Structure 1
Amino acid sequence: MLLNDFHPAVSAWFNKCFPEPTAVQADSWPAISRGEHTLLAAPTGSGKTLAAFMASLDALIKEGLERGLPDETRVLYISPLKALSNDIQKNLQLPIVGIRDCLLESGLPDVDLRAWVRTGDTPQWERRRAVKEPPHILVTTPESAYILLTSDSGRNMLRTVRTVIVDEIHALAGNKRGAHLSLSLERLEALTEQQLTRVGCSATQKPIDDMARFLIGARDDNCNIIDTGHVRDRDLALEVPGSPLEAIMANEVWEEVYDRIAELVNAHNTTLVFVNTRRLAERAAKHIGERIGDENVTSHHGSLAKEHRLHAEQRLKAGKLKCLIATASLELGIDIGDVNLVCQLGTPRSIAAFLQRVGRSGHTVGETPKGRLFPLSRDDLAECTALLRAAENGELDRISIPEQPLDVLSQQIVAEVAGAEEWQQDALFDTVRRAWPYRNLERDVFDEVVRMLAQGFSTRRGRRGAYLHHDAVNGRLRARRGAKLTAITNGGAIPDQFDYEVILSPEGFKVGTLNEDFAFESLPGSIFQLGNTSYRILKIETGKVYVEDARGEPPNLPFWIGEAPGRTTELSAAVSQLRAGLDSKLDAGMQAGVQWLMQEYRLPAAAAEQLTHYMAGAKAALGLIPTQQRVVFERFFDETGDMHLVIHSPYGSRVNRAWGLALRKRFCRKFNFELQAAALEDSIILSLSTTHSFPIDEPARYLHSESVRDVLVQALLDAPMFPTHWRWAASIALAIRRNHKGKRAPAYFQRNDAEDLIAVVFPDQIACAENITGKREVPDHPLVRQAIDDCLHDVMDIDGFIALLKKLEAGAVEIIGRDLTGPSPLAQEILGARPYAFLDDAPAEERRALAVQSRSYMDPADAADLGRLDAAAIQRVREEAWPEPRTADELHDALVVLGFVSEVEGVRGNASTGQAELAFNWQHLFDELVSDRRSTVLTIDDTKLWVAAERLQEFATLQGTLNIEPTIEAIQVPNTGVESRSDAIRELLRSRLEGLGPVSAAALALSLRLSSEDANRALMALEQEGFVVRGNFSGSAKDGDPVEEWCERRLLARIHRYTIKRLRKEIKPVTPADYMRFLFHWHGLTDRAEGPDALSAVVDQLEGYSAAAGSWERDIIPARIDLFSANMLDTLCATGKSIWLRLGVRSANGEKRTSPVRNAPVTLIDRLAVPYWRNIAPLPDIDDKNLTSSANKVLDVLRSNGASFFVDLVQSTGLLRTQVEDALGELVNWGLVTSDSYAGLRALVTPSSKRPGFARRRGRRPAASGFDR
């Protein structure tokens, strides 16, 4: 469509403002002008919004010129964010005003075209005005559109709508807000009684056909898809710190990251820094503010008040703010002006989110977006590398549209029936089914929801949730009294997080919100940061925290629960592809891997070297790098002997969460033990107890694709996620009211209501566990089904997990087991997992994984040792396990414990120990037992065994007839658990294994002349008990294949412990001489530096170190700085860079301190760091009794007057100069005063007789200037 097809005034305005239409504009205008459904897909900054609006503006202008515009709303624009709606309304004024000016210039009549924004923040007077003068273009959010469709005035306003524009459709389609909106659109079409023209816009949509169906609904209409692609030229790069990344980033590495961001911010006019959590937004704002000035940076996230967010956006747009730290709150197209650079701290876990965020820079047509990605851990580095490659290849994440959420359906049914006053049940069902997420809704499910809304629930607080009158005879639905008000005040699909409002006193306005748990853990007087501002808590009430400005005092950082995003399926596949490629390249050596990453992934050398080194260590430890085609099960013991199983599965946290939770339930049923588990993007950890033992790859067969859903449902019912999602589903369905009588229902009320409700519809869920036998019977109730479905599809990815299990069953995914002496490099991150990764309710301080000791940095050559048990350790344990009797009684004990000893072992010792002397004098001792009839010789085939009388009964059960010499009577031992031959074999092998180290099943079978089947059956029974562990521990092989060995669990844990000790011993400490040489070099004592900059570096290096005041200029600094002079230190302090003071003074107990000040330990620190050091070393608690009268006078003057010159102190106190000096020295000793120059301290340290000019000017004192408290 050419511009001349528009009205001349519209075309004239466009030509004034733009050189030409963009591709998406030129391609979309014809279809939209014809009233056809249209979906626009184009990169950020390509003019999509104007493309969607232009045809509607043109139509309204033409209609206004032809017959005048009636006071009717014709265009409804819906955006996912209130701030975005405000921006669109402002940006709409530009073309409206411009077009009206063009009409005036052309001599044509004016057209009074009005646009208005309606959100939850719109004041009441504006809403009343809009009822009287409806806007022609209404800009709103899904939630406000829902309210308008439910209220009488809103329905009258929307009745004349002809076009609906849904912006950023991708942000809605993949969640319940999208399902909510789709029903609202069908309600709107039913209200207007004619087909609407639907227009959708987004930069990142996949699959685009599904997005088109979501937009227009389940009808036969076609949708024009204008797809100009999402790929554009971008300037993307990876930023890695100089220090190597670890599983958890150290503070010094964080400092490097903040320094680099500050450097980038200073090199650009405006910078947007995206982070994944609100806590990190506050933390980053604090540290970056220290580098570029607090006035140049602030944070932006959903827990800040809208006034703060709007102010931050306006400052950034006006160029008054250099840097804004944001979460996803700025991911969409809010107008924040020209942004030159986008930095992303940590992987955003999504290709689309990364592209959206980078697209905020270079936002206008023709500019190039610029983004820098900062990985925060070693796994982050691999994911960021894969993310950049996926973005370069034009890949996108697939958006999964929720299928028929019943809680949203319940709410919309109540709202629509209440708004329309009456509906035929059949007609309402047909309307609902036209919404794309509900296209497959079955009639019986719909009727079930209607019955629930008509009948409600009978709880201990009475009947609730009954909102409809259901006339089943005539198929009519009417609203009950109060239903409309409840639907309006409790609508929407955004779950309630129970945040506390933060109210600033005495002004009384809201500055943001805090997580409920953080508010609970805080006390009055606590200081926290919000929006890069420190606040002190005054009091805490239900739902509110009252604060005052803390005026920059060092704060704690608040936390918010459950906010880390999960990695998308497509990005997980990209990570697996990277791992597989690097695995193959590492076969040719480390350098080959580095070169491949630099060439194929365009990584800088430093990043390529770090990633290659990390993965090479993983391959050395595990034998390969885990991928989606090769999953590795890694097992190791911790320091306490507990076992840990790590599953390296790079399928993303949603699949891994499902796998870990289902395995946890299977282990619980199999071993009767509730183990601890956690899941991250690339791994799962199961922390086991001493009762668990199994072949390392066996857990891969614990679950089956046909039955895993039932297992997972039973597992999630016990997980912390279910109560939360149950409450959310119930509140969205209006079964629980979030607002009542115009006020927010307190959190504990809502929790109690949710518990009452679950007691009615699902009593087994909160029943006493002792009264439940077997699995819980899950009721077929709409809300229970929905809560479970939310857990399975939102928190977890049940479909992806089932697909993985099917691949396992088909052999398409290989399982590799590895027994290690300690955790591999890839296991480090899961061992330090955050609470959001936990799959059980054990607190962080009680995690079994804390007992695992591991190295933060591991060389690939050292990592290879993790897969090998030390032969000397195995031999040592074998020797320790085999008995060393010195008396007949001790030999008898050994025969009872071991079950038997062969005659060869009794004479020559156990062959496995290699120590024949261990059998020294055994024959003599055994003869003594035989003569006492306590033992005998049992012959099995050609093997003679020494057996104690207490074990003969088991041999009788095994053999039937015993061939013993001499004949003795078997002692009946009660409660042995031996009732059959298999029981006897099991118990005899159990005893035998307690005296041996790793041993093969064949060797055990031979010792008792058993068949291999009998021996293996008994060993597997012992394995089920957790008594033995199988594997290839000694490295023995037969015909090139490793021999399977069995080892008693405690002995194996001891072997692991000895192996780790041996590996630690190989880390040799340096000699004291080498260490001293390092210290001399590190402190610059061997090669002294020069100049003021070098002095600043020395003071920074020694910050926090205390030394006698007189030694700094005499000994410490001159040893490090060549040509040092006292004025250099004076200048450093006088410029405000550094300050001297005494730290760590213990509170007084009647003590006075008048010792010479030159002996007082003082430290030099950065002036900006004083508040933090004062947190560590607060001022001492003293009173007047601890100070001399002179010191008290000086201190009082300083308290009242503030910083004072020395002569002013003399005049104000009326003391002699010497008395003031002594008083200041005393106050320095207490750490109560400092000065703005080192000269002040020097004047106190230097004896009077040694000061310059003392002989000539006796009695005149140098000014100890600038003291303050």
Structure 2
Amino acid sequence: WCRSLDFKISVRHGDTATRDRRKQALSPPDVMITTPETLQLLLVGKRLSRHLTSVEWVVVDEVHELAENKRGAQLSLSLERLRRLKGGDFQTIGLSATVGSPDEVGKFLVGEGRSCKVVDVTMARESELDLAYPEAGSEDEVLASSLYTYPEVAARLRVMRGLIEGHESTLIFTNTRPMTEILTSRFKMWDINFPVSIHHGSLSSFTRLRTEKELKSGDLKGAICTSSMELGLDIGQMDLVIQYNSPRQVTRLLQRVGRSGHQVTGVAKGRIVVKDPDDAIESTVIIDRARGQELEEVKIPNKPYDVLAHELVGMLVSSKQWGVDDALEIVKKAYPFRDLTKDELIGVLRFLSGMTRRLAWLRPDEDVFVRPKKGKRVFDYYFNTLSMIPELKQYVVIDDEKDEPVGVLDEPFVAEYGEPGAKFVMGGSIWRIVQVFKNKVFVKSVEDPVGAVPSWVGEEIPVPYSVAQQVGALRKRVEEEISQGGDPKQIIESTSKSYGIEEDSINRTLKPVIDQVKSGLEVPTNENIVIEKCEDTLMVHACFGTLTNRTLARFIARRASEELGESVAVTVDPYRILLRSERLTPSEVESILSGEMGKDFRETLESIIEDSRFFKWRIIQIARRMGALKHETEMTSKVVDKLTKGLKGTPTYKETFKEVVRKDLDLPQVLEVLERIESGELELTSLGVRDEPSPLALLAWKKRALTFEPVSPKRMRMLILASTRARLLSEERTFACTKCKDWVEVKPIHKLEDKPTCPKCDSESIGLIEKEPRSVRRILRRVKKSSKSGKKSKTWRELKETSKLLSKYGKTAAIALAGRGLTPKSAEGILSEEDELSDKFLDLVMKEEKKSLFSRYKIS
């Protein structure tokens, strides 16, 4: 297209080669595709900043993704700096398939005081949304046995396989990386030749690119993925999207389903495969809201101080001196900063000026700020803090008794649950945290599952308040109709018609609600909070969504702990709060929620937020982004406590509070809930202490049983061996002949011959590497021409080393080399001990993978 239309287009990002950057600076393209982070560099580049003065159009793709996070706030300020650099305006165009607040996003896009036209073309495409609630049959029991799982899981796999085989190409979305890994493993254990692959952000670029290319070429019929596939990757035409479990948000569902039927007149086709009544009723509501285009509102961050600090320093990189009023004029034109006051701007400048290693110098009259004489630190900070994406640290989990690694936890999970004594599920076992030290979580194996949390919940997408409230409203409608003498069968039939979901699925979806009414028990709804206790677990049924329930749970636990003089463990889901305590009673929880135990709601909640692990995690991120903390500083609990105390009252502390409230703990919504309880608008009902959970509480008990059902050591070992075998065999690598250097091919290891040979020269000198074939061919051409750079390259050395192993051990060597983090040397150690694909071989591979994990986290 570019050649036909006679214009140049180029891409600029962090991985752009130096030679390409030089070309762009000397001869700029007509169109440049870049990122918000790279735009920060272009604005201060000597040559490119001059070229930017001729910009006429700025197109922001997937604008909804940017508007609701700090990358968007950063972009809005960058565009204002670009306008100042240009000395005029340009046309700004935002593109998105799903925007919950188009007018608000339009204002974000163009800035304060400028007009924006919203062009809605949703009518150009139809969408077909449905729900599948598989029921396990006898065939699923057989499959479940072979996959070491439950018949219900096997039923979902069977239904999904049927859908995949009935379509040309399918994307299967999950909500977490672990679930993506598990689902892929199950399919590969079932059938190693089943043409599906995996895609998520933590995989190597080689694996991700292979999945994308093979989807486009038709070699794959499906990809199991996370949000990594939501955006505009070049993967060809999809004709179906499967969402595994509830998508949890309307916007998320539409964004994902929108990847199918990608033609103007195409039909976007989506199926949600659900696992239980909670999942089903939530998905039913989300489908209904999606059909009515009731998307979640986009919440634009309000004047984030960390973004502001970085941009002010960026202005000093461009020019040594700025007037405060001049800077304020630029900043306030960016929509997220439209309400910024001069005092707030000066507060951030004072903070930057007051650091030991100051990043700006604010003159005593506070009218001008200048670049400090030691300008190197200013440049270092600006160029090393371009990204507003939080750095997600990982913690290695170590069995304290065996001194062995168990797995890895992400920082958000540790932030929420990483307290000594907390329990979580990993690798089919229950672990209790002994201590968190530096980048390690020391644990002990325990048998009691009560209170344990699955290790993947830190990644879970939060269910919004609006969705949870509509779930409560649907429950209320069913309760009222039955109470008024309605026939449950007719209610199921009418609900099926009104929601457009098949009757059998609605029947199973509403069964717990109908059973609750038939038992003569109050139903928790959008207008009724129901409390009950069974054994040592007290349950508060509250249809308020993830963030509100998470915050409310901490409020109840704080008040209960003060009353009882002992800590109260809590877990939450979007519809329930579970509190574990022998002594806590339903009437005490009623007193806490009604305000009888004190009405200082805001003060208590603010204290809870400041004491939370969320706050500690966020303050580290924000302190780094504001230059108050070096990126390489090793954080311990004591260091974080000292940092938090030292930053109190600063813009960093204030920004941390704002971010926690926006992302982790919903203070405004909880205050509203407590006020509605106090006014009587929200009803509080107690079912008292019960011998067994109510039907709607039983859902949580069943989930817990499925998550924590004891697995015999023998069964667990068989599952681990089978999944490891499937994983290694399904790995793809680039194979190349190191003799003739003319043959290069990518293939999955299970399709490799037992003794691989070159199809061109019959040589057994076949090496393998995890690199794209194009770059491998380029190196081989250099080696063939006796190029020194080719022969000294890492790629050639690795091909030579691996070819020796393959020529000696054959396919088994390739399987060993596919192990995570395994080097040719470690693979050779395995093969010298066991050269057949046996249980012993798999044990050796897993042992070396654990050693690699130890090495990665520098654990002696």
- Give the Cα separation in 2 of the matches to 1:714 and 1:829: 33
1:170 maps to 2:64: yes
Gaps of 5+ in 2: 141-147, 397-407, 419-425, 428-437, 441-453, 727-807, 811-838, 841-860
* 1:817 Cα offset (Å): 1.4
* 1:324 Cα offset (Å): 0.4
Q: What corresponds to 2:379 in structure 1? A: 484
Q: What is the correspondence of 1:784-795 to structure 2 with a 5 Å cutoff?
A: 784-795=653-664
Give the alignment partner of residue 363 of structure 1, picking from 262, 265, 286. Answer: 262
- Give the Cα separation in 1 of the matches to 2:672 and 2:411: 38
Q: What corresponds to 1:329 in structure 2? A: 228
* 1:323 Cα offset (Å): 1.0
Give the alignment partner of residue 501 of structure 2, picking from 598, 603, 618. Answer: 603
- Residue pair 1:239, 1:375 contacting (<8 A) in 2 also: yes
- Residue pair 2:300, 2:336 contacting (<8 A) in 1 also: yes
* 1:662 Cα offset (Å): 1.4
* 1:477 Cα offset (Å): 1.9
- Give the Cα separation in 1 of the matches to 2:462 and 2:174: 14
Q: 1:560 to 1:253 in 2, by over 3 A?
A: closer
1:497 maps to 2:392: yes
- Give the SS at the match of 2:267: coil
* 1:494 Cα offset (Å): 0.5
Q: 1:637 to 1:309 in 2, by over 3 A?
A: same
Give the alignment partner of residue 421 of structure 1, picking from 310, 314, 320. Answer: 320
Give the alignment partner of residue 265 of structure 1, picking from 143, 164, 168. Answer: 164
- Give the Cα separation in 2 of the matches to 1:757 and 1:669: 27
- Give the SS at the match of 1:562: helix
1:673 maps to 2:566: yes
Q: What corresponds to 1:708 in structure 2? A: 601
Q: What corresponds to 1:809 in structure 2? A: 678
Q: 1:410 to 1:606 in 2, by over 3 A?
A: same
- Give the Cα separation in 2 of the matches to 1:559 and 1:231: 42
- Give the Cα separation in 1 of the matches to 2:76 and 2:115: 17
- Give the Cα separation in 1 of the matches to 2:212 and 2:269: 20
Q: Which amino acid aligns with 1:789?
A: K
**CA distances 1:904-963 after superposition (whole Å, capped 9, x unpaired):** xxxxxxxxxxxxxxxxxxxxxxxxxxxxxxxxxxxxxxxxxxxxxxxxxxxxxxxxxxxx
Q: Which amino acid aligns with 1:201?
A: L
- Residue pair 2:538, 2:584 contacting (<8 A) in 1 also: no
- Give the Cα separation in 2 of the matches to 1:1168 and 1:582: 45
Q: What is the correspondence of 1:986-1065 to structure 2 with a 5 Å cutoff?
A: none
Q: What corresponds to 2:614 in structure 1? A: 721
Q: What corresponds to 1:734 in structure 2? A: 627
- Give the Cα separation in 2 of the matches to 1:786 and 1:205: 26
- Residue pair 2:124, 2:264 contacting (<8 A) in 1 also: no
* 1:709 Cα offset (Å): 2.6
- Residue pair 1:242, 1:256 contacting (<8 A) in 2 also: yes
Q: What corresponds to 1:825 in structure 2? A: 695
- Give the Cα separation in 2 of the matches to 1:724 and 1:801: 22
Q: What is the correspondence of 1:185-196 to structure 2 with a 5 Å cutoff?
A: 185-196=79-90
Q: What corresponds to 1:625 in structure 2? A: 523
Q: What corresponds to 2:286 in structure 1? A: 387
Q: Work out which of the two has the higher radius of gyration on C-alpha atoms and give 1 or 2.
A: 1
**CA distances 1:230-264 after superposition (whole Å, capped 9, x unpaired):** 7842222111111399xxx9722111111211121
- Give the Cα separation in 1 of the matches to 2:603 and 2:47: 48
Give the alignment partner of residue 461 of structure 2, picking from 546, 565, 577. Answer: 565
**CA distances 1:486-539 after superposition (whole Å, capped 9, x unpaired):** 2111222100112499xxxxxxxxxxx9857999x9xxxxxxx99xxxxxxxxx
Q: 1:637 to 1:750 in 2, by over 3 A?
A: closer
Q: What corresponds to 2:131 in structure 1? A: 238
- Residue pair 1:418, 1:478 contacting (<8 A) in 2 also: no
1:349 maps to 2:248: yes
- Give the Cα separation in 2 of the matches to 1:783 and 1:620: 54
* 1:322 Cα offset (Å): 1.2
1:97 maps to 2:3: yes
Q: What is the correspondence of 1:923-938 to structure 2 with a 5 Å cutoff?
A: none
- Residue pair 1:736, 1:753 contacting (<8 A) in 2 also: no
Gaps of 5+ in 1: 1-93, 100-110, 457-462, 502-512, 522-528, 531-541, 545-557, 739-744, 762-778, 835-843, 854-1103, 1105-1142, 1145-1162, 1173-1199, 1203-1230, 1233-1269
Give the alignment partner of residue 511 of structure 2, picking from 613, 623, 626. Answer: 613
1:161 maps to 2:55: yes
- Residue pair 2:465, 2:548 contacting (<8 A) in 1 also: no
- Give the Cα separation in 1 of the matches to 2:275 and 2:10: 43
Alignment coverage as a number of residue pairs: 667
Q: Which amino acid aligns with 1:483?
A: V
Q: 1:327 to 1:1201 in 2, by over 3 A?
A: closer
Q: What corresponds to 1:148 in structure 2? A: 42
**CA distances 1:1128-1187 after superposition (whole Å, capped 9, x unpaired):** xxxxxxxxxxxxxxx99xxxxxxxxxxxxxxxxxx9x9x989969xxxxxxxxxxxxxxx
- Residue pair 1:164, 1:199 contacting (<8 A) in 2 also: yes
- Give the Cα separation in 2 of the matches to 1:418 and 1:1171: 54
- Residue pair 1:684, 1:830 contacting (<8 A) in 2 also: no
Q: What is the correspondence of 1:1093-1242 to structure 2 with a 5 Å cutoff?
A: none
Q: What corresponds to 2:669 in structure 1? A: 800
* 1:691 Cα offset (Å): 6.4
Q: Which amino acid aligns with 2:655?
A: Q
1:299 maps to 2:198: yes
* 1:169 Cα offset (Å): 0.9
Give the alignment partner of residue 17 of structure 2, picking from 120, 123, 131. Answer: 123
Q: Which amino acid aligns with 2:4?
A: G
- Give the Cα separation in 1 of the matches to 2:480 and 2:604: 37
Q: 1:292 to 1:810 in 2, by over 3 A?
A: same
- Residue pair 2:513, 2:523 contacting (<8 A) in 1 also: yes
Q: What corresponds to 2:179 in structure 1? A: 280
Q: Which amino acid aligns with 2:662?
A: H
* 1:543 Cα offset (Å): 9.4
Relative contact order: is structure 1 or structure 2 higher (C-alpha 8 Å, sep ≥ 6)? 2
- Give the Cα separation in 1 of the matches to 2:177 and 2:582: 36
- Residue pair 2:360, 2:369 contacting (<8 A) in 1 also: yes
Q: 1:434 to 1:294 in 2, by over 3 A?
A: farther
Q: Which amino acid aligns with 1:123?
A: A
- Residue pair 1:736, 1:754 contacting (<8 A) in 2 also: no
- Give the Cα separation in 1 of the matches to 2:526 and 2:456: 32
* 1:724 Cα offset (Å): 0.6
Q: 1:150 to 1:795 in 2, by over 3 A?
A: farther
Q: 1:822 to 1:810 in 2, by over 3 A?
A: same
Which 10-residue stretch deviates more, 376-385 or 337-346?
376-385
* 1:619 Cα offset (Å): 2.9
Q: Which amino acid aligns with 1:656?
A: N
- Give the Cα separation in 1 of the matches to 2:221 and 2:90: 44
- Give the Cα separation in 1 of the matches to 2:4 and 2:439: 47
- Structure 2-normalised TM-score? 0.71
Q: What is the correspondence of 1:368-447 to structure 2 with a 5 Å cutoff?
A: 368-447=267-346
* 1:275 Cα offset (Å): 0.4
Q: 1:213 to 1:318 in 2, by over 3 A?
A: same
Q: Which amino acid aligns with 1:267?
A: G
Q: What is the correspondence of 1:463-612 to structure 2 with a 5 Å cutoff?
A: 463-464=356-357, 466-473=358-365, 475-480=367-372, 481=375, 482-499=377-394, 515=410, 562-587=458-483, 588-612=486-510
Q: Which amino acid aligns with 1:366?
A: T
* 1:383 Cα offset (Å): 0.4
- Residue pair 2:471, 2:526 contacting (<8 A) in 1 also: no
Q: Which amino acid aligns with 2:527?
A: Q
